[in-house]
């Protein structure tokens, strides 16, 4: 298999670097890559990590997978990129130092674009359109995405929040209502994705429903773009907090990777159950935000992953002397997924991500907004 200018060899691990772009002072930013091609034909599996430079568990897990994987035991090809953001890694920052853009929002846009009907045109419309003038990181990711049609499966490893329960994000799948059979194909793709996530072995959490998903440009995230543009199975893994390495979390990440390689028939063996962290399989979850209504110091009353019922107390907001100013209760049955790294809060501060039962379709049309009768007539 050839990726840009790096070619794999059967039964071997090939290491190399892909040129990303030239810095102003003349050196080249390079993307590290390892291609593991088995002796037998099989799927192509892409594993990536560290697209946010301070998220380290995926980086370390993929380093260890590279060292441990035996190409003579692999059916197919495993492509491993330990860091999708080498410049961010060097400074331990979410974004690389040469752009302020979130690198996980710069992949090819899968959503069909509707050109607006303009009453007035301007000769500089294109000049002022930021989408027609991508930054250097977006240019490279667009170039790299040219290999994605050859990829059959994709996992991108991230970190979430302090005290976060390790889990996997599953993207909702979108379809064009005007294309016959695309809804049914999307439903099949969603089931393949779900089976892959379940094989990995962590709690399954659905990415946000349409408004939040598109407002936050998650359809242009690494996996959001892959699933909805290239129509292949993939998902995102969230592995605890950023900025440090916990070897137990690395072990969890590796167990999941070996599981999906077994699930797809690329290596032999039985799937291993993850038991060192809570895995919540009793329902299909989605996220909401828990917020405070007053200033103070917020203290958790439950642990991440601990199931609580509607009305149960989950946080206290205290004043400087410890007096309780507010008790925050669970809005419905669910659990805290992750808490932010702080103790101070103000009105409307985000304290934690909370899981509730999903009630929104998992397969949706791109044009999800309600249309009034006049628009329908047009």
Following DSSP, what letter does each residue of 216-236 receive, concatenated? TTGGGSHHHHHHHHH---EEE
Would residue 76 be called left, alpha or beta, if left means φ above 0 and alpha means ψ between -120 and 50 degrees? left
Phi-psi region of 302 (alpha: psi -120 to 50; beta: other; left: phi over 0): beta
When divided into structural domains, the chain yields a total of 2
Closest to 194 measured CA to CA, from 221, 162, 219, 169: 169
Q: Is residue 254 part of a domain?
A: yes
> What CATH number did the domain enclosing 209 receive?
3.40.630.10
Please report whether residue 130 resides in a domain.
Answer: no
Q: Determine the pLDDT at residue 162.
A: 83
> Are 316 and 244 found together in one domain?
no
The pTM assigned to this predicted structure is 0.94
**pLDDT score for 372:** 58
253, with CB counted inside 10 A (0-12, 13-18, 19+), is: buried
Domain range spanning residue 339?
A: 285-357
What rounded mean pLDDT belongs to the chain?
A: 94
Residue 273 falls within a domain, yes or no?
no
Q: Per the structure block, which two tokens stand in for 325?
A: 């100013």
Q: What is the CATH number of the domain that holds 304?
A: 2.40.50.100
Q: Give yes or no: residues 304 and 243 share one domain.
A: no
Q: Are residues 313 and 170 in the same domain?
A: no
DSSP assignments along 281-308, one per residue: -SS-EEEEEEE-SSSEEEEESS-TT--B
Measured in whole angstroms, the distance separating CA 29 from the mean position of its chain's CA atoms is 24
User: Does residue 76 register a pLDDT over 70?
Assistant: yes
Q: From 350, 154, 137, select the one nearest 235 (Cα to Cα).
A: 154
Query: What does the alpha-carbon distance between residue 96 and residue 90 come to, in Å, rounded to a whole number?
Result: 9
Do 256 and 351 lie in one domain? The reply is no
Q: What's the confidence (pLDDT) of residue 368?
A: 83
Residues 319 and 218 in one domain: no
Residues 333-351: tens digit of each pLDDT: 999 999 988 899 999 999 9
Please state the rounded mean pLDDT for residues 178-198: 96
Residue 374 pLDDT more than 90?
no
d(CA 33, CA 51): 14
Closest listed residue to residue 165, CA positions, set 240, 252, 255, 250: 240
**Region 201-213 average pLDDT:** 95
Q: Does residue 91 sit in the same domain as residue 209?
A: yes
Q: Which long-range contacts (CB under 8 A, 24 or more apart) does 243-250 make?
A: 243/54, 243/56, 243/92, 244/56, 245/56, 245/57, 245/60, 246/57, 248/276, 249/57, 249/166, 250/57, 250/60, 250/61, 250/64
- Rounded CA-CA distance 249/166 in Å is 8
One domain for residues 347 and 210: no
For strands 6-7 and 285-291, give the pairing: unpaired
Residues 181 and 235 in one domain: yes
What is the predicted pLDDT for the residue at 371? Answer: 63
- Whether residue 208 lies inside any domain: the answer is yes
Contact between 314 and 303 (Cβ < 8 Å): no
């Amino acid at each position: 298999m050839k990726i840009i200018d790096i070619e794999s060899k059967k039964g071997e691990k090939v290491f190399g670097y892909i040129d990303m772009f030239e810095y102003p002072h003349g050196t080249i930013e390079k993307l590290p890559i390892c291609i593991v091609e088995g002796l037998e034909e099989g799927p192509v599996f892409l594993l990536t990590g560290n697209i946010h430079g301070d998220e380290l568990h995926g980086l370390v897990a993929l380093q260890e997978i590279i060292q441990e994987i035996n190409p003579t035991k692999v059916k197919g090809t495993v492509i491993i990129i330990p860091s999708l953001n080498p410049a961010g890694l060097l400074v331990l920052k979410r974004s690389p130092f040469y752009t302020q853009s979130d690198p996980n929002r710069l992949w090819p846009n899968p959503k069909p674009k509707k050109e607006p009907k303009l009453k007035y045109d301007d000769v500089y419309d294109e000049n002022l359109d930021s989408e027609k003038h991508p930054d250097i990181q977006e240019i490279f990711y667009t170039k790299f995405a040219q290999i994605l049609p050859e990829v059959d499966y994709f996992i991108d490893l991230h970190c979430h929040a302090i005290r976060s329960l390790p889990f996997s994000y599953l993207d909702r799948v979108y379809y064009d209502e005007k294309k016959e059979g695309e809804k049914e194909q999307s439903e099949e793709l969603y089931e393949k994705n779900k089976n892959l996530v379940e094989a990995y072995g962590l709690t399954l959490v659905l990415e946000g429903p349409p408004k939040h998903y598109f407002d936050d440009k998650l359809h242009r995230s690494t996996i959001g773009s892959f699933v909805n543009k290239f129509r292949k199975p993939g998902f995102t893994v969230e592995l605890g907090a950023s900025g440090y390495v916990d070897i137990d979390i690395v072990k969890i990440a590796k167990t999941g990777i070996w599981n999906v390689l077994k699930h797809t028939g690329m290596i032999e063996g039985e799937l291993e159950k993850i038991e060192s962290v809570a895995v919540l399989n009793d329902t299909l979850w989605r996220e909401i935000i828990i917020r405070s209504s007053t200033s103070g110091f917020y203290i958790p009353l439950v642990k991440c992953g601990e199931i609580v019922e509607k009305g149960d107390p989950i946080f206290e907001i205290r004043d400087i002397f410890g007096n309780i100013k507010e008790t925050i209760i669970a809005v419905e049955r669910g659990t805290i997924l992750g808490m932010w790294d702080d103790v101070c809060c103000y009105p409307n501060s985000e304290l934690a991500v909370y899981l509730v039962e999903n009630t929104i379709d998992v397969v949706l049309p791109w044009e999800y907004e309600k249309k009034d009768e006049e628009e329908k007539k047009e």
